Amino acid sequence: MPHTTDRPDRTDRPDSPTTRRGLATAAVAFAFWITMAGTTAPTPLYPVYGEEFGFSPITVTVIFAVYALGVVVGLLAFGRLSDRIGRRPVLVAATLLSVGAAGVFLAADDVAVLLVARVLSGFSAALVTGAATAALTELVPQDRRVRPATLALFANMGGLACGTLLAGILADVAPAPLRTPWIVMLVLAAIGLVGVASSPETAAHRSGFTLQFQPLRIPSEIRSDFLRSAMAAGAGFAVLGVLTAVTGLFLGTVLHRSSHTLTGLVVFTAFACTALGQLLVRRIKPGAALRVACLGLILAAALIALAMAITSLAPLLVGAAVNGLATGIALSHGLGSITTRGNPQHRGASVSTFFAILYSMLAVPAIGVGVLIRATSLRPAGAIFSAAVALLALTVLLSLARNRRTSA
């Protein structure tokens, strides 16, 4: 009998480098997705927590803001940690914090415990963002059909979008609305933890652990464009933060709709459109991107104010979508300016500064809206906030027009 030489392709074998790389890519992307999903999962549950623990709307905004501030501190303290000790240890730490946050939420019985859970969520998001993005860049070849930056974008924004929708659906259809979503999140985060713990290290050079705060840096060579982009994207992030914090309150007390899924859908729409906006920017002329973003932010603010005035869901949903698209365009424009025109030696510090501004804008206006709700009520507070967002976007738009005339 002749000897057969037919063998399966080496790349199809379970232990081939291509297969291992594919599994590692899937593990990192999933861990990135579930970690970010855990950060928005509380959104549709806030009204239930308010009834259970008896706290006011301002407490909800403070609980949310603690998360955003945790991200800022985490970015400044640990933003470059994966460059020093490797991607895998940081990814393991991030998913472990995500598991811990879900466990604390599961056991929460008062506001103090919720605050602890939000701090853990903030640190997990800060750690996973840089480490997972870098790991995906090192795992996925740039010539692949799906580029690593696109994969990281959908893992990040997809997690933020899906976390709130998944938690809302589970809170509506499953028993124990304050327990079931966190059991599911905990199990999924544990799977992500096992995945990244089993993945290979991708960082070629590591300098060793040193704990130091990343200095803030506004790049002088693109200072004006950096600040305009940060103001525009920051205005969009402020809307995202307020939507995340008080959408459930608006639907429950103003529209008298108690559906947690509906709350999740509004926030899902906002974050999903933010991802879409970052892809849409490729089809806009670079010189026009920020103007388009500012016009979108003004339109979104008007739609949200209209929703408050006529107590209607449709303008709120459309406003969330338009705000997401505009925010994504401004965000992509700002990051593009930093990575293509900024000094490469200070690129990491500039990106960290950019996101520190954005996450500060995610937190501080939410607290301000909470104070306004306490002083007046939800609808006037929403109108005042919408006017402030529109004014900030209009300021950037006028600055762009003045700069264009000066250049001409």
CATH number of 215-408: 1.20.1250.20
Domain 18-200 has CATH 1.10.510.10: no
- Report pLDDT digits (tens) over 315-343: 999 999 999 999 999 998 888 888 777 77
pLDDT at 158: 92
Instruction: Give per-residue pLDDT as tens, 135-184.
Output: 888 888 766 666 787 888 889 899 999 999 999 999 999 889 999 999 99
Residue type, 251: L
| pLDDT tens digits along 77-119 | 887 778 788 889 999 999 999 999 999 999 999 999 999 999 9
Q: How far apart are CA 272 and CA 36, in angstroms?
A: 13
Q: Is the pLDDT assigned to residue 8 strictly greater than 60?
A: no
According to the model, what pLDDT value does residue 347 have? 67
Question: Are the beta carbons of 102 and 401 closer than 8 angstroms?
Answer: no
Interacting residues of 76 by C-beta distance below 8 A, sequence separation 6+: 213, 214, 216, 352, 356
* Domain extent listing, the chain: 18-200, 215-408
Report the percentage of the chain scoring pLDDT > 70.
89
Q: What DSSP line would sit under 244-292, residue for residue?
A: HHHHHHIIIIIS----HHHHHHHHHHHHHHHHHHHHHGGGS-TTTHHHH
**Rounded Cα gap, residues 261 and 263, in angstroms:** 5
CB 31 within 8 A of CB 132: yes
Q: What angle do CA 161, 27, 101 make, to 5 degrees?
A: 55
CA atoms in the 13 A half-sphere facing the CB of 288:
7
Same fold, 18-200 and 215-408: yes
